[in-house]
Structure 1
């Protein structure tokens, strides 16, 4: 049996199993999708509401991940590595 020459080391970097969502998020940013959505949909009537772009972009990321329930948004929010990149 041949042993592969890989070495494992520890790191303090954050890892995520949802790295594929970064590609979709970058695509939405490069298309300026959020700005287009906010132009087409009314903004919230209070300062507590979400902008339409936040709601729709979150749904797009959730569906790309395979989630179809609004409760699954917690999975995205709890992913520290993903949130640090997405903002």
Structure 2
């Protein structure tokens, strides 16, 4: 009977501690989802390496897109030869 009483009091103390922590902890707000009306940035494919980058960050040469100045230069050099 003594073991049952001990386990009962441990459970009561644990429940009280959990409730106290839950009530005293500041509430955290979940991060809001991005605006549903916002459209994703259009992506383009680098002609040199094939990686997709946002069009705002890509470099254009005519109808071709490149992820970096190096890849733009490499494409220009390969077409000269």
So what's the TM-score if we normalise by structure 2? 0.25
The structure that has the greater radius of gyration is: 2
So what's the TM-score if we normalise by structure 1? 0.24
Which has the larger share of helix?
A: 1
Question: Which one has more relative contact order, counting CA pairs under 8 Å at least 6 apart?
Answer: 1
Which has the larger share of strand?
A: 2
